[in-house]
Amino acid sequence: MSGYENEYEEFLFHRINDSDLLTGFVVGHLVIEHLLEEIVLSYDSKLREHFLSLTHSRKISFINSLGLVPDGVASCLQSINKMRNKFAHQLGYEPNKGELLNLITKCRENFDDLTDGLVQLHGALTDTNDLLEAQEKHGVGLADLFIQVVYDLESYANKEV
């Protein structure tokens, strides 16, 4: 038995902590997309075909329009997707410290932060120059951002956390 709460937490820690920022962000984004599908399927499995035909941004809007996630959560997920799109469409993109702090702050305002990972990540990044240094100096990093998001998304999908 692992020391992690659930399969997503273990997956995120192993995949993101051992990767660069681009890879870690894409992995986190993929887990979010998987959970968005879980949310829709728990609501109505007949929506699967339609849901899978949508872009990631439209998946978030669709779930929000059905009332399956609050507006603030949808807005934060859209911000995560926008940053992922910058990685995809701007070769060599690296978010600056301010962009990352803004994203973390938005997530702190809209997700439960069950283990205080977002608070710790925000403090660590504020105290350091970048996520790598925050990870090395304070033991928190990008995985903590996505894990907090995943905890809430699991609850919206009516999954055990």
Report which of residues 142 and 6 the model is more confident about: 142
Distance from the Cα of residue 144 to its chain's centroid: 9
Residue 2 in domain:
no
Of 137, 115, 114, 116, whose CA–CA distance to 125 is shortest? 137
pLDDT for position 160: 44
Q: What are phi and psi of 110, to 5 degrees?
A: -120, -10
Average pLDDT over residues 32-58: 97
- In angstroms, rounded to a whole number, what is the distance separating the alpha carbons of residues 104 and 99? 9
Cα→Cα distances 102→12, 59, 97, 106, 136, Å: 21, 23, 9, 6, 21
pLDDT for position 6: 67
Residue 134 in domain:
yes
- In angstroms, rounded to a whole number, what is the distance separating the alpha carbons of residues 141 and 123? 11
Query: What predicted TM-score, i.e. pTM, was given to this entire model?
Result: 0.91
Asked whether the predicted pLDDT for residue 159 surpasses 80, the reply is no
Q: Which domain holds residue 103?
A: 7-156
pLDDT tier at 161, thresholds 50, 70, 90: very low
Q: CATH code at 140?
A: 1.20.120
Instruction: With H, G, I as helix, E, B as strand and everything else as coil, classify residue 92.
Output: coil
Residue 55 in domain:
yes
Of 83, 68, 70, whose CA–CA distance to 131 is shortest? 83
Residue 108 in domain:
yes
- In angstroms, rounded to a whole number, what is the distance separating the alpha carbons of residues 102 and 104? 6
Q: What total of structural domains would you count in the chain? A: 1
Asked whether the predicted pLDDT for residue 4 surpasses 90, the reply is no
pLDDT for position 93: 95
Task: Check: CB of residue 141 under 8 Å from CB of residue 17.
Answer: yes
Residue 1 in domain:
no
Please write the tens of the pLDDT for every residue from 105-120: 999 999 998 889 999 9
Give the chain's mean pLDDT.
91
